[in-house]
A and B are shown apart, each in its own frame.
Chain A
């Protein structure tokens, strides 16, 4: 079995979005998530000598990121009183009225409790498939579908014409559907 190697110079292009989506799904704050991704890359560099090549590069980085997420929660929890139990009772002015935070957050129309969890996994599955596409295809797909940039702007930025763009989007979508087919369709 060939040993995996680290290529830190390609980390940002190859894994930043995947790690970012993972982090956002865990901390629900894109600024914090961004910092965690950056810290993960630094930590990866610092411990590169410990990398044995058993795991794929991305798996290894995700493992570091998981530690970073745990550290993040430890940090914010240590700021609170240690014995304090946080009851998030939101008063709406009237003394006897109010909502528990959970009740406010919960979506009564949600089809099931697993919805958000499933969506997190779905996001990572799409990112995973996206990373297997040719670079230009995944770039065009990302700009169009995820960032919602207009066809005209994408064409200007990448110096392609609209029919090129649609061919690339079409190929990307077909490949993504094929990649996701087993689990999600």
Chain B
């Protein structure tokens, strides 16, 4: 049941994308219970996820970027 801090961090990051199994999450929760460092990291990580969500970030498609590049190159 015991996991290392590295492993805990890995599970924590995966769980931010809902890609950790419930068994892993359980192990993480137990780890956090006695490891204050990881508890802090986990809280920050979760906060960061909600920041990313509320920021509603957007990116240009790679196809849009390619056509921008081409248009720019023609002007160079």
Contact = CB atoms under 8 A, between A and B. Distances in A.
Interface in A15-35: 16-17, 20-21, 24, 30, 34
Interface string A153-175: 00000000000001001100100
Contacts of A151: 17, 19
B9 A170 contact: yes
Interface residues of B, number: 29
Contacts of A126: 51-52, 55, 57
Given A37-B60, A126-B55, A170-B13, 6 more contacts: A11-B72, A12-B69, A123-B56, A147-B59, A166-B10, A166-B13
Contacts, number: 87
Given A11-B72, A144-B17, A16 B54 contact: no
A11 B60 CA distance: 13
Contacts of A24: 58
A119 B58 CA distance: 13
A122 interface: yes
Nearest to B71: A38
Interface string B41-76: 000110110011011111110001100110111011
A185 interface: yes
Contacts of A13: 65
A177 B58 contact: no
A55 interface: no
Given A45-B72, A45-B76, A176-B48, A123 B13 contact: no
A185 B56 contact: no
A119 B72 contact: no
Interface string A105-143: 000000000000001001100110000000000000010
Given A12-B68, A16-B60, A119 B54 contact: yes
Interface string B1-44: 00000000110011011010000000000000000000000001
A123 B44 CA distance: 17
